[in-house]
């Protein structure tokens, strides 16, 4: 059996994929090429090319967005969504420490501790809601909805501490 067949068989036997900070899941992980991702997830619902230094595959039903940085680039950031967030279905994921989309902000703090960087939520005059977020150097970020629950979990490369 090839790798894709093994992944698909094992995926049927479990409910959620485990997400590891700075890496991704067993099947979708940082550094993958577009062709590898398409073999596993199929054709994306659509792509977004309008941002400089970003080239996204959007999988709304799977609750995932993937940023390759540029066309034919390697996977740089993985976004896992909570059901209904920005029109996405629920990503069936759980972090290696037990946090899922939809969990509370308090659970994130209990589980991961104080973030290395964070930003509070803002509501603009036009009603646009800019989510509160927590960033951890280990390669994981959490964005929270107005109900203070995890809307988005994003995975990126681990960041080194700045030397003083």
Q: What is the pLDDT of residue 125?
A: 79
pLDDT average, residue stretch 5-15: 50
**What's the gap between Cα 71 and its chain centre?**
19
Does pLDDT of 10 surpass 60? Answer: no
Does pLDDT of 11 surpass 50? Answer: no
pTM: 0.86
Task: Summarize pLDDT for 15-42 with one digit per residue, the tens.
Answer: 899 999 999 999 999 999 999 999 999 9
Residue 9 pLDDT level (bands cut at 50, 70, 90): very low
Task: Summarize pLDDT for 112-164 with one digit per residue, the tens.
Answer: 999 999 998 777 777 777 789 999 999 999 999 999 999 999 999 998 776 55
The secondary structure of 50-98 as a DSSP string is -STT--EEEETTTTEEEE-SSTT-B--EEEEE-TTGGG-----EEETTS
80, 88 Cβ separation under 8 angstroms: no
Q: What is the pLDDT of residue 164?
A: 52
Strand partners, 66: 57, 78
Task: Summarize pLDDT for 41-95 with one digit per residue, the tens.
Answer: 999 999 988 777 889 999 999 999 999 998 888 999 999 999 999 999 999 999 9
Cβ density class 112-133: b for 16+ within 10 Å, e for less: beebeeeeeeeeeeeeeeebbb
Strand partners, 67: 56, 77
């Amino acid at each position: 059996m090839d790798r894709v067949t093994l992944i698909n068989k094992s995926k049927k036997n479990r409910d959620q994929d485990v997400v590891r900070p700075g890496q991704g899941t067993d099947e979708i992980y940082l550094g993958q090429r577009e062709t590898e991702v398409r073999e596993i997830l199929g054709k994306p619902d659509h792509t977004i090319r309008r941002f400089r230094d970003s080239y996204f595959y959007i999988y709304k039903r799977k609750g995932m967005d993937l940023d390759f940085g540029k066309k034919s680039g390697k996977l740089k950031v993985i976004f896992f969504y909570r059901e209904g967030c920005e029109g996405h279905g629920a990503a069936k994921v759980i972090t290696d420490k037990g946090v899922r989309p939809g969990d509370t902000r308090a659970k994130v703090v209990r589980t991961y501790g104080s973030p290395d960087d964070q930003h509070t939520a803002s509501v603009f005059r036009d009603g646009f809601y800019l989510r509160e977020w927590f960033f951890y150097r280990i390669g994981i970020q959490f964005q929270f909805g107005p109900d203070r629950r995890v809307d988005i979990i994003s995975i990126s490369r681990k960041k080194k501490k700045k030397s003083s």
